[in-house]
Chains A and B, each alone.
Chain A
Amino acid sequence: MKRFLIVLAALAALPAWAERNALPTGMPAAYQSECGSCHTPFPPGLLSAADWKATMAGLEDHFGTDASLDAKSAGAISAWLETNASRRIQAAGKPPRLTTTAWFKREHREVPTKAWQDSRVKSAANCAACHRGADQGRYGEREIDIPGIGRWED
């Protein structure tokens, strides 16, 4: 029964990307200005709460860079990330990368290899290269435009 409900929940969540904002309400301003300065402000719902906790605990040595920030902003960001974290997505490695989860790979399996290798994309974590509304939390299909390939029609 539990499993059935989970599957149902997963299905129900599918079409929602077009309408839903992946940066839920209550986002601290510092999330955009800090966590959105070097890369896309990632959707909290694509990592588990434990993985966000681990990410926030290791900001001084964050993928080779120092992303540490003042305690007040860090606290507000952690609380918001953990509240809106995924309950389905599994542990995403050390350090956690949402781009390595089974969910992410499945969702992107139809994206051609050459798109990932384009110099304008550079990294799978460069969501905004293809999702033109990513900085504002919008991942609907109508806003997908892949460098070198163009608009995405399913």
Chain B
Amino acid sequence: MRPYLLLLGLAVAPSLWAAGPAQFIAEYSAQAGAGFTADAARGKAFAGKNWGVSEKLSSCTACHTENPRNPGRHAVTGKTIQPLSPAVNPERFSDPAKVEKWFKRNCKEVVGRACSPAEKADFIQFVAGAQ
């Protein structure tokens, strides 16, 4: 019932929905299906995997670094990217439209397709729990 309500909330008011990493994990886990549990180790492997799609943007860590608590650097433009860890950077995983926009863009470039809800849940589990 709870995931269903969350899902409803996201569908009804995506821009009004104030969220934190825990809500995103719950929401994407619900979409991934019954019996799914987000896993930080799987998320870490996903983030570091070389997908072989783009030479410069081979993995998520190419721009975000291996440690989500550290600032990253855009692999093409050189621009500093603020840490993804919500513990270090509270603005992260608070705006569903922003999160969805960047998953869409970055997954297409790096993985060559959209990321599945399970991959998104694992990724956030890893990023939010990074010590």
Contact = CB atoms under 8 A, between A and B. Distances in A.
Interface of A: 38-40, 63-66, 120-123, 125-126, 128-129
Interface in B29-43: none
B74 A38 contact: yes
A128 B76 contact: no
Contacts of A39: 74, 77, 79
B66 interface: no
Interface of B: 73-74, 76-80, 105, 108-109
B76 A129 contact: no
B78 A129 contact: yes
Contact of A121 (B74, B76, B78, B108): B78
A66 B105 CA distance: 7
A38 B78 contact: no
B79 A65 contact: no
Contact of A126 (B79, B105, B108, B109): B79
Contacts of A128: 79-80
Contacts, number: 35
A122 B78 contact: yes
Contacts of A63: 76
What are the nearest 10 A-B pairs in CB distance? A122-B78, A126-B78, A39-B77, A123-B78, A39-B79, A123-B77, A38-B77, A125-B77, A126-B77, A38-B74
With most chain A CB atoms within 10 A of its CB, the pick from B77, B108, B109 is B77
Contacts of B108: 66
With most chain A CB atoms within 10 A of its CB, the pick from B77, B78, B105, B108 is B78
Contacts of A66: 105, 108-109
Given A38-B79, A128-B79, A65 B105 contact: yes
21 contacts: A38-B74, A38-B77, A39-B74, A39-B79, A40-B77, A63-B76, A64-B76, A65-B76, A65-B109, A66-B105, A66-B109, A120-B73, A120-B78, A122-B73, A122-B77, A122-B78, A123-B76, A125-B77, A125-B78, A126-B78, A129-B78
